Amino acid sequence: MRTGVPAFLGLLILGATLLFFPPAGGGQGAPADIIRAVRISGVINPVVADFITAELDHANGRGQKAFLLELDTPGGLDTAMRSIIQGLLGSRIPTIVYVYPPGARAASAGALITLAADFAVMAPGTNLGAAHPVAIGPGGSGDEKNNTMMEKVVEDAAAYARSIAEQRGRNTEWAERIVRESISTSATEALDLKVIDLIAADRQALLEGLDGRRYLRNGQGRFLKTAGAEFEQSEMGLRQRILNVISNPNVAYMLLMLGILGIFFEISQPGVILPGAIGALALLLAFFGFQTLPVNYVGVLLIVLAVILFILEVAVTSYGMLAVGGLVALTFGSLMLVETSKPYLQISREVIFAAVGVSAGFLALVIYHVVRTQKGRPVSGSEGMAGECGVAVDDFGGNGEGLVFVHGEYWNASCAEPVAKGQRVEVVRVGGNMRLEVKKTE
């Protein structure tokens, strides 16, 4: 038994280490015969960008034959996209971006990432393009200042797309049009326009189609040999998967609501501890998720105002007016929290209204119990003795004084009227020197 416990703990620690830090390599074949493969299906955010660049650096460090990025994305954040593109353009080994599987897309940020690869490949039934930048933040389309700023953003994005296309020898006119006109192109059209290098139905067709193809590195022509190459699939670790899920705007928003409710419950009912701890943890996770999203700070301030009004509702008698104002501020703040026209970065309206409804119900429940507690009679201390019933131990004569048995104890008491021994009495209040004032009761 003594040797079994340390062995079990050692296996537990080893299992946790492998779970959070999985082995990097698959151990199959020599590095020169291995193509490192990464599959991304979803929004391009900082977590995804860190994962891709780390895997690309690892493939370069091991001197593997190539790096394959299988892509299916509606787009993502500009900073994350540029981080991935910098990694692709700076890679020593050849890079391949494969829009896969059939029915997938590489839209917006995904289109520019595809252009940045040494070899751009699409599966049949996929599409590429629609990379027009979207304004983020307050301000309407009629604001001249915002329109001027948006024009600058478009010009910058168009120049960036042209630069990438020129470096990879692709169609620069098409690259500029996907930014300015938001056009999207099918796989066959992209091949005809010299936007991509190949259409492949699967990985085997991709290897066969790219074998012997020429690419440039430091101005010198080189050839990619894929005959006999094997794929080494790399997946996100548990930590990265959790952070990627938190970066989802709906998940981040629900964590924010959970944090607000937990902190509010802890303030309204001090000493419970667990809701406050859960609320603080949820708020920290929500803040991490929102740092990867285009957050409107006016929405954040409205939500903070809502929390303040909720707390004041507990301390101030407003007959529910502060709570109503808090719910209104919470609703508008939630609707304004993430301001962008990209649907994959927006918080679902259904999630917002459901969260506000749950918050309203929770708030009403907490306020009801707080008010009931405040208006209820005291249950402890000398004030809690009022209303308690007992029995007269002595006959209360003319002076109306004697002993009574109340709440399991003998008390000195006085009564304004005579009381016979054994008769039931009720405590009116606790007087000086802990003497009870009582009255006869049936």
In angstroms, the CA 397 to CA 60 distance is 103
DSSP states of 118-166:
SEEEE-TT-EEE-------SS--TT-HHHHHHHHHHHHHHHHHHHHHHH
pLDDT of residue 5: 41
Q: CATH 3.90.226.10: which residues of the chain?
A: 22-239
pLDDT of residue 6: 47
Q: Which fold has domain 22-239?
A: 2-enoyl-CoA Hydratase; Chain A, domain 1 (3.90.226)
Instruction: Report yes or no: 45 and 14 within 8 Å, Cβ to Cβ.
Output: no
In angstroms, the CA 345 to CA 341 distance is 8
336: left (phi over 0), alpha (psi -120 to 50) or beta: alpha
CB atoms within 10 A of CB 366: 20
Q: What angle do CA 348, 354, 357 make, to 5 degrees?
A: 145
pLDDT of residue 164: 95
pLDDT of residue 324: 84
Q: Six-digit token pair at 190?
A: 């992209």
pLDDT of residue 10: 54
Q: What is the pLDDT along the chain (442 residues), one digit of tens a residue?
A: 444 444 444 554 555 454 444 444 444 556 778 999 999 999 998 899 999 999 999 999 999 999 999 999 998 888 899 999 999 999 999 999 999 999 999 999 999 999 999 999 999 999 999 887 765 444 444 455 567 777 888 899 999 999 999 999 999 999 999 999 989 999 999 999 999 999 999 999 999 999 999 999 888 999 999 988 999 999 998 888 888 888 888 998 999 989 888 887 787 777 778 888 898 899 888 888 887 677 888 888 998 898 888 888 777 767 678 888 888 998 999 888 887 767 777 888 888 888 888 888 877 776 777 666 656 555 555 566 777 888 888 888 766 778 888 877 888 888 878 888 888 888 887 877 778 888 887 7
Q: CATH 2.40.50.140: which residues of the chain?
A: 382-440
pLDDT of residue 1: 42
> Strand, coil or helix: what is 396?
strand
Please list, in sequence order, all residues whose beta carbon lies within 8 angstroms of the beta carbon of residue 291, skipping any fewer than 6 positions away.
none
pLDDT of residue 149: 75
Written as one letter, the residue type at 395 is D
Please provide the CATH number assigned to the domain covering 382-440. Answer: 2.40.50.140
> Strand, coil or helix: what is 285?
helix
